[in-house]
Amino acid sequence: MVLGMVSGVEPKPGLLKEAIMFVFGNLVVALATILNYALTIANWLIIIRALLSWVNPDPHNIIVQFLCKVTEPLLAPFRRLIPAYSIGIDLSPIFALLAIWFLKLFLIRTLFGVAMRLG
């Protein structure tokens, strides 16, 4: 193909496939790394929000508003499953952190394993 035309030597038949698999493996590693960073950031934002809830922060503070806007989509599904009014304490941050840790242990490791086998 192109390599054969430029150098005048025909490339090995599996070389193109190996190169594509190498590139795809690197793509999976990059996606897994970005997902790992995103989950780590979400983890810390949930912890910070839980700690702030103990001191009753000003809801008009821009940082508090940011934390609420970012973490509420992560916490809302768990609040629907386990309402705080039934037991008197909001356990949604704990379950959200457990879900994030599960994703990091299962999904991220699986993606890195797939990438190792590809390239």
pLDDT digits (tens, 9 = 90+) for 80-103: 988 777 777 889 999 999 999 999
| Side chain identity, residue 18 | E
Residue 79 CA to residue 77 CA, distance in Å, equals: 5
Q: Could you say which DSSP state residue 10 is in?
A: P
For the whole model, what pTM was predicted?
Answer: 0.80
- pLDDT value for 12: 72
pLDDT at 38 over 90: yes
Give Cβ neighbours of residue 56 (< 8 Å, ≥ 6 apart): none
pLDDT at 117 over 80: yes
C-alpha distances out from residue 30 to 6, 39, 112, Å = 31, 14, 9
Q: How many residues does the chain have?
A: 119
What would the mean pLDDT of 58-86 be, rounded to a whole number? 91
C-alpha distances out from residue 115 to 20, 27, 35, 70, Å = 12, 8, 14, 30
Cα dihedral 108→110→112→116 (10° resolution) = 180
Percent of the chain with pLDDT over 70: 91
What would the mean pLDDT of 108-117 be, rounded to a whole number? 94
pLDDT at 112 over 80: yes
CB 92, CB 53: distance < 8 Å: no
Q: How confident is the model at residue 8 (pLDDT cuts 50, 70, 90)?
A: low
- pLDDT value for 66: 96
| Side chain identity, residue 8 | G
Domain ranges in the chain?
15-118
Over residues 39-50, the pLDDT tens digits come to 999 999 999 999
Q: How confident is the model at residue 3 (pLDDT cuts 50, 70, 90)?
A: low
What ranges make up the beta strands (E) of the chain?
Answer: none
